[in-house]
Structure 1
Amino acid sequence: MLSTLVRLREALESARLPLEIPDVEIARKARVEMLDQLEDYILPRLIQIDAPLLTVVGGSTGAGKSTLVNSLVGARVTLPGVLRPTTRSPVLVFNPADAEWFEEARILPDLERTLEASTDTGRLQLVRSEAIPPGLAVLDAPDIDSVEEQNRTLAAQLLGAADLWLFVTSAARYADQVPWEFLKQAADRSAAVAIVLDRTAPSAIEEVSTHLARMLSARGLRDSPLFIVPEGKVDEAGLLPSTTVREIRAWLSSLAADAGARQAVVRTTLEGAIRSLSTRTYAVADACHDQVEIAGRLRRDAEASYEAALNEIDHACADGTLLRGEVLARWQEFVGTGELLKTLESKVSWLRDRVTNAVKGQPQHAERVTVAVESGLQTLILEHAEAAAERTDAAWRMIAAGRDLLGATEQDLSRASRDLRPRAETVIREWQQGVLDMVRDEGADKRSTARFLAYGVNGLSVALMVTVFASTGGVTGAEVGIAGGSAVLGQKILEAVFGDQAVRRLIERAREDLNLRMLHLLESERRRFGDLLDALALSATAEEELRAGARHIDDIRFASHLT
């Protein structure tokens, strides 16, 4: 059981729930409470089952908890508060013989030990007293209904660390909702509970105690002892008359003296805490599942938007879209615009030699085509990257968790990255250099031929780029008008130098290289959204680890009952 609970604690620690989804606050609170109970009570108690019985005195504001503790000890060891709420450290009173159990961080390890009274709720004041019998310790906790959240949280944590709850209420407060929420938790986990009805006028004792007993019975706490402390004056030390707390003191002393009775209380509370823990684990596992599901949906939305952008760029780079405007004008300057292109509009089956003789490109014209291609591709990339960012931003804002993530970042992810333009420019130039290198390598054994010399490496690389931009869909020549004719002309120029098969291979390689570079460029844009999700550090395995841990706990419990 111990090793299973240790693994469950590790799973709970990794089960982060950062996304704002329905009911997540309930799961977050449960996770923190479960971790606290494992650290503060269950694991320490399992390791040292024979440790003294820890009785936590808790209750509502003004119920008289501190006065009761002082009266049980017979000395003023904890300071009652005059003003509400009383912000102070909890006080743990124990017999000096049991100091080894409490002065080290065996229980409540996150509370700093101190011997002085403090207003710091992060400290645990330790008090040695011979009035407390060996085998028993009494802890005075803050108010469970304090107006200060820090007090309420600490009170709940301390009650979760108790072997025995000594729940203090009063005739004026016993029906309040908050105390009964805590008592319901105690009943759900079969915790050992004793009720103290404090500050009760003698005339009201029978009526109030009868009603309170019925309420306890109706809420599964029929077997919980009920003690009555009549309303009375305190002495100069702030203590109640010894006779009013005699019954409570005697009951606690009998528990401390009877090892069997003490162990029965410990085991009842411990087994109930473990059973409750396994049950509550499934709710946290469900919350982990929902977190992963929502994060996956957000990630898929981003991936779909940028995949669409990539497809649109790919389509535009292949259907002749780029062979218009500035690119077309510069290309026509390179190849000439006379009878050659006019004839190509209606007839594309030119002999290679005719094409070779007709083209009159110059090096400076080739450079202008390269610049125009760069500008056209850059505009295309920016346009579709902006659209992808807008689509992803809109999709995320339809989900509360997505809105919160976008609102928490200083980046404006509805727009493309500010540095996308220079990065796109670099990528395009690298691709163009790659095309140039392909042509140079392919023409290694043709550099001395007349045709190669006629166009040069730059001219042939320009022709390859133009051909790539209208190379899919089976549409060629006059079927795509001037753009298609321009691409066919580029292909004929390449074929005149390299031959049909080599040209097809060059086109395929250049196109694949362009697509790969576009993929990496847009992936860096999509990653801006992915980084927000990655920063959440959601565990993909936490859900199953939690469920497996809960199942294993139940298996061990059932097996122990059978034996």
Structure 2
Amino acid sequence: MSGTRHTAGTSRCWHNDRVNTHETPAVPLIEALEGTRELLRSTTLPLATASAPQQREGAARAVAQLDDYVLPRVRSLDAPLLAVVGGSTGAGKSTLVNALVGHPVTRSGAIRPTTRRPLLIHHPGDAVAFTAQRVLPRLARVHGTVVAPGQTPPAGEPGDGPVEDTGSLVLLADTNIPEGLAILDAPDVDSISDDNRALAAQLLSAADLWLFVTTANRYADAVPWQLLRNAAGRDITVAVVLDRVQASSAGEIEEDLRRMLDEEGLGAAPIFAVAESPLNETGMLPPAAVEPLREWLERLGADAQARSEIAARTLGGAVRELADTTERTAEAVAAQQRTEEHLRREVATSFDEALRAIVDSTRDGTLLRGEVLSRWQDFVGTGEFFRSLEAGIGRVRDRMTAFFKGQPAPEVRVEEAIETGLQAVIVENTARAAESAERRWRDEPSGQVLLAGRDAAALPPDYPEQVAESIRAWQSDVMLMIQQKGAGKRTRARAMSLGVNALAVILMIAVFSTTGGLTGLEVGIAGGSGVVGMKLLEAVFGEDAVRRMSDQARSNLESRIHGLLDQRAKVFLDSIDELGEHPTAEQLHAAAELVRRESEAL
């Protein structure tokens, strides 16, 4: 039996003068397609939205078809047509290809799948059009020669049996193929091999023309019809070969097949019936069995205008499908953007709630309970001390000065109590916010993906110390502000008479003592003493200055609390930011529109 011997070949750039004579550069369209390719290639759709898996695959297929077919065809509109022979398992594709060539160049196998390198047969005059990586650039080129019956390929070279290699393309020059037309034998579209099915889809996407082979028994199978529907949607020229037809039922089957083709928008597709015939000793069909199809292909090869129309029609359909795919990808990207914004809002909501809770605790007197209240009482003596003070700012100042001179002021203990109380409130609410954010994310498929392998809610062991450091820094800022405000000669004398630390503590207490939330004795002790403390500060610095100092101290504190919460929220947001930058929906919509506009002439 004769077959095809494969030998590795060296790729050459396509510079055939006959082919290039009528090339149309279509530079604006090429630029639009290249720009769209880059956008689609960069679109990963990483979030688990409903449309992401399908559109991710769609974008990848579109990029592959741009490389394999669309860009090569736009750059070389007059290149030879590529007719891909496709069909179901056992439909007789290889036997048909042998019959069209006129001698065995490939063979079918009894074992499924019959995995082999795809074989592209072309006229010798068209060799340069396929030797270079113009179409199907990701498939390596291997040159084939016909092996005579009984001849053994040289050592180290594969023969014509099944070869587990779907990453290369065998090129075979044969004068029986019309010039201007090439035939490519593709794997089964319903192969049990995933690689074979993927390769078949890739080759069909690179075709100008489909020769779709089916049989009298299997012409209604679902898998090929799905591909035929896709072909109708892309406006691909299709010729259907109805193989192994009994003469007695040929008319009835062909009529039914024509009806199905009409229903799917493929009414113009010619049907070529190949009668059930015995094969000769080399596995060949009688020449008459495929004569109508061979004549049709020869007429097509001889008619440059007809070839040009088929190429333009198929290319136009592929470009329109590309624009549609780009639009669908843009919609998928928009869904990703909405999901990302939703996840960010969930984090912001959780930590904003924590910020409000912490700030409220600094405004409603919550921090003046417990240890802080006890230390503040130690600082000022007892409630009786303030009740015994006579009205008048001067007397308040004098009695406070005498008090401080008479006893060591335990203001440091008040500072420490404020630090401890505020630290507990911040850490508790931060932990609650992180748990809330994680819970909200785990309710979302995309959030689950982002949290995979992460314990985002866990606070780091040193977080409480980070909070304490931030509070101490705030207290230092308050003390510095007291020092700066007391820089004047008269003010300095008043401040020095009381002590900077004492004034700073009084200001801190004043910041926290708006009395909301305090009841009974707490109001009298904490709230009342805070009011008197404010009066004392006003005696030293003046009312306007104290109000500004209080506002500044509160703003400083809330800013630091906000920073601590942002630090923990960033753990969640970083997982979104790590996805990187991607094309926007607006960019993809614009690319689709540009492709449509520039392709109107096709």
TM-score normalised over the length of structure 2: 0.83
1:138-163 deviation line (CA, Å, top 9, x unaligned): 22222222233333233222211110
Q: Is 1:113 aligned with 2:158?
A: no
RMSD: 3.1
Q: Is 1:548 aligned with 2:583?
A: no
C-alpha distance in structure 2 between counterparts of 1:259 and 1:363, whole Å: 107
1:57-77 deviation line (CA, Å, top 9, x unaligned): 111122122332233334544
Residue 341 (structure 1) shift = 4.7
Contact 2:434 2:457 in 1 (8 A): yes
Contact 1:363 1:458 in 2 (8 A): no
Match of 1:549, as an amino acid? A
1:246-275 deviation line (CA, Å, top 9, x unaligned): 332332222222211211111111122222
Match of 2:471, as an amino acid? I
C-alpha distance in structure 2 between counterparts of 1:457 and 1:431, whole Å: 15
Aligned equivalent of 2:499: 456
Aligned equivalent of 1:224: 269
C-alpha distance in structure 2 between counterparts of 1:361 and 1:380, whole Å: 35
1:342-396 deviation line (CA, Å, top 9, x unaligned): 658x999873222333346977833322222222122111111122222222333
Aligned equivalent of 1:380: 425
Contact 1:466 1:487 in 2 (8 A): yes
C-alpha distance in structure 2 between counterparts of 1:501 and 1:294, whole Å: 48
Residue 222 (structure 1) shift = 1.5
Aligned equivalent of 1:368: 413
Residue 191 (structure 1) shift = 0.6
**503, 524, 527: which one aligns with 2:546:** 503
C-alpha distance in structure 2 between counterparts of 1:281 and 1:423, whole Å: 48
**Larger mean Cα displacement after TM superposition, 129-138 or 182-191:** 129-138
Aligned equivalent of 2:8: none
Change (3 A) 1:289 1:337: same
Aligned residues between the structures: 556
**319, 331, 340: which one aligns with 2:364:** 319
Point out where structure 1 has 5 or more consecutive residues left out of the alignment: none
Aligned equivalent of 1:469: 512
Contact 1:334 1:362 in 2 (8 A): no
Q: Give percent identity, aligned residues only.
A: 47
Change (3 A) 1:335 1:283: same
C-alpha distance in structure 1 between counterparts of 2:487 and 2:251, whole Å: 110
Equivalence map 1:10-89=2 (5 Å): 10-89=38-117
Change (3 A) 1:354 1:181: same
Residue 198 (structure 1) shift = 1.9
Change (3 A) 1:30 1:207: same
Match of 1:188, as an amino acid? G
Aligned equivalent of 1:534: 577
Aligned equivalent of 2:130: 102
Aligned equivalent of 1:302: 347
Match of 1:64, as an amino acid? G
Q: Is 1:421 aligned with 2:464?
A: yes
Contact 1:306 1:385 in 2 (8 A): yes
C-alpha distance in structure 2 between counterparts of 1:398 and 1:321, whole Å: 33
Match of 1:422, as an amino acid? E
Contact 2:32 2:598 in 1 (8 A): no
Match of 2:40, as an amino acid? L
Match of 1:420, as an amino acid? Y
C-alpha distance in structure 2 between counterparts of 1:447 and 1:154, whole Å: 90
**287, 304, 317: which one aligns with 1:242:** 287
**525, 544, 567: which one aligns with 1:482:** 525
Point out where structure 2 has 5 or more consecutive residues left out of the alignment: 1-28, 144-156
**Larger mean Cα displacement after TM superposition, 215-224 or 394-403:** 394-403
Aligned equivalent of 1:179: 224
1:181-233 deviation line (CA, Å, top 9, x unaligned): 11011111211101111233444433322221221122211211211223344
C-alpha distance in structure 2 between counterparts of 1:174 and 1:512, whole Å: 77
**166, 187, 204: which one aligns with 1:159:** 204
Residue 174 (structure 1) shift = 1.0
Residue 438 (structure 1) shift = 2.0
**Counterpart secondary structure, 1:168:** strand
Aligned equivalent of 1:126: 171
C-alpha distance in structure 2 between counterparts of 1:524 and 1:442, whole Å: 32
Match of 2:534, as an amino acid? Q
C-alpha distance in structure 2 between counterparts of 1:158 and 1:472, whole Å: 78
C-alpha distance in structure 1 between counterparts of 2:391 and 2:290, whole Å: 113
Match of 2:309, as an amino acid? A
